[in-house]
Amino acid sequence: MTSTCPPPRVSRVSRLSLLPSLGLVLGALLGTGCGGTLYAVQASSANSKVSEARAVGAEKLAPYEFYLAEEHLKKASEEASQANYGDAVELAEKAEEAADKAIKLSRDAHKGKGR
Protein backbone atom coordinates (compact mmCIF):
# COMPACT_ATOMS: atom_id res chain seq x y z
CA MET A 1 0.00 0.00 0.00
CA THR A 2 1.41 3.38 -0.97
CA SER A 3 1.03 6.37 1.20
CA THR A 4 -0.33 9.57 -0.30
CA CYS A 5 1.52 12.23 1.61
CA PRO A 6 0.99 15.82 0.63
CA PRO A 7 4.04 17.58 -0.78
CA PRO A 8 6.10 19.48 1.74
CA ARG A 9 4.99 23.06 2.25
CA VAL A 10 7.47 25.80 1.62
CA SER A 11 7.05 28.69 3.95
CA ARG A 12 7.17 32.29 2.83
CA VAL A 13 10.46 32.69 4.68
CA SER A 14 11.97 29.78 2.73
CA ARG A 15 10.82 31.28 -0.57
CA LEU A 16 12.34 34.64 0.33
CA SER A 17 15.64 32.98 1.17
CA LEU A 18 15.80 31.72 -2.41
CA LEU A 19 15.84 35.25 -3.87
CA PRO A 20 19.55 35.91 -3.31
CA SER A 21 20.35 32.59 -5.00
CA LEU A 22 18.13 33.48 -7.93
CA GLY A 23 19.92 36.83 -8.22
CA LEU A 24 23.29 35.08 -8.31
CA VAL A 25 22.13 32.71 -11.02
CA LEU A 26 20.74 35.57 -13.13
CA GLY A 27 23.92 37.56 -12.61
CA ALA A 28 26.04 34.63 -13.70
CA LEU A 29 23.95 34.16 -16.83
CA LEU A 30 24.17 37.84 -17.73
CA GLY A 31 27.89 37.86 -17.10
CA THR A 32 28.58 34.94 -19.40
CA GLY A 33 26.77 34.13 -22.62
CA CYS A 34 23.63 36.21 -22.36
CA GLY A 35 25.24 39.61 -22.87
CA GLY A 36 25.30 39.18 -26.61
CA THR A 37 21.64 38.25 -26.65
CA LEU A 38 20.66 41.25 -24.53
CA TYR A 39 22.69 43.50 -26.80
CA ALA A 40 21.11 42.03 -29.94
CA VAL A 41 17.61 42.67 -28.63
CA GLN A 42 18.40 46.23 -27.51
CA ALA A 43 20.30 47.06 -30.70
CA SER A 44 17.46 45.76 -32.85
CA SER A 45 14.99 47.94 -30.98
CA ALA A 46 17.25 50.99 -31.23
CA ASN A 47 17.86 50.35 -34.92
CA SER A 48 14.10 50.25 -35.54
CA LYS A 49 13.68 53.57 -33.72
CA VAL A 50 16.47 55.19 -35.75
CA SER A 51 14.80 53.97 -38.94
CA GLU A 52 11.49 55.37 -37.75
CA ALA A 53 13.16 58.69 -36.95
CA ARG A 54 14.63 58.80 -40.44
CA ALA A 55 11.19 58.07 -41.92
CA VAL A 56 9.59 61.04 -40.13
CA GLY A 57 12.34 63.41 -41.29
CA ALA A 58 14.34 63.66 -38.11
CA GLU A 59 17.57 64.22 -40.05
CA LYS A 60 16.30 67.72 -40.84
CA LEU A 61 13.73 68.34 -38.11
CA ALA A 62 15.71 67.05 -35.12
CA PRO A 63 19.28 66.68 -36.39
CA TYR A 64 21.03 66.73 -33.01
CA GLU A 65 18.90 63.95 -31.55
CA PHE A 66 18.95 61.96 -34.78
CA TYR A 67 22.73 61.98 -35.16
CA LEU A 68 23.18 61.36 -31.44
CA ALA A 69 21.08 58.22 -31.85
CA GLU A 70 23.05 57.10 -34.91
CA GLU A 71 26.42 57.66 -33.27
CA HIS A 72 25.41 55.87 -30.07
CA LEU A 73 24.23 52.93 -32.17
CA LYS A 74 27.54 52.83 -34.08
CA LYS A 75 29.53 52.93 -30.84
CA ALA A 76 27.31 50.22 -29.36
CA SER A 77 28.17 48.02 -32.33
CA GLU A 78 31.88 48.66 -31.82
CA GLU A 79 31.65 47.76 -28.14
CA ALA A 80 29.71 44.58 -28.91
CA SER A 81 32.33 43.55 -31.47
CA GLN A 82 34.87 43.66 -28.63
CA ALA A 83 32.51 41.69 -26.34
CA ASN A 84 31.90 44.70 -24.09
CA TYR A 85 28.22 43.85 -23.90
CA GLY A 86 27.37 45.89 -20.82
CA ASP A 87 28.63 49.07 -22.48
CA ALA A 88 27.04 48.06 -25.77
CA VAL A 89 23.62 47.62 -24.16
CA GLU A 90 23.88 50.99 -22.41
CA LEU A 91 24.85 52.74 -25.64
CA ALA A 92 22.03 51.07 -27.55
CA GLU A 93 19.59 52.20 -24.85
CA LYS A 94 20.85 55.78 -25.19
CA ALA A 95 20.52 55.51 -28.96
CA GLU A 96 16.90 54.43 -28.58
CA GLU A 97 16.17 57.29 -26.17
CA ALA A 98 17.68 59.84 -28.57
CA ALA A 99 15.75 58.35 -31.49
CA ASP A 100 12.52 58.52 -29.49
CA LYS A 101 13.17 62.19 -28.79
CA ALA A 102 13.97 62.82 -32.47
CA ILE A 103 10.71 61.14 -33.47
CA LYS A 104 8.71 63.23 -31.02
CA LEU A 105 10.34 66.49 -32.12
CA SER A 106 9.83 65.63 -35.78
CA ARG A 107 6.19 64.77 -35.29
CA ASP A 108 5.65 67.95 -33.31
CA ALA A 109 7.27 69.93 -36.11
CA HIS A 110 4.98 68.28 -38.68
CA LYS A 111 1.94 69.22 -36.61
CA GLY A 112 3.15 72.81 -36.35
CA LYS A 113 3.50 73.13 -40.12
CA GLY A 114 -0.19 72.43 -40.65
CA ARG A 115 -1.33 75.50 -38.70
25-29, 89-93, 105-109: least confident range: 25-29
Whole-angstrom Cα distance, residue 31 to residue 23?
A: 12
What local confidence, expressed as pLDDT, does residue 91 receive? 97
Residue 4 lies in a domain: no
> Residue 101: its pLDDT value, please?
98
Q: How confident is the model at residue 35 (pLDDT cuts 50, 70, 90)?
A: confident
Give the residue among 36, 37, 30 at the shortest CA–CA distance from 79: 36
Q: Per-residue pLDDT averaged across 4-18, rounded?
A: 52
Number of compact structural domains in the chain: 1
Q: Give the integer Cα–Cα distance in Å for 51 and 70.
A: 10
Answer whether residue 48 is part of any domain. yes
Residue 50's domain spans which residues? 35-113
Whole-number Å distance between alpha carbons of 111 and 26: 45
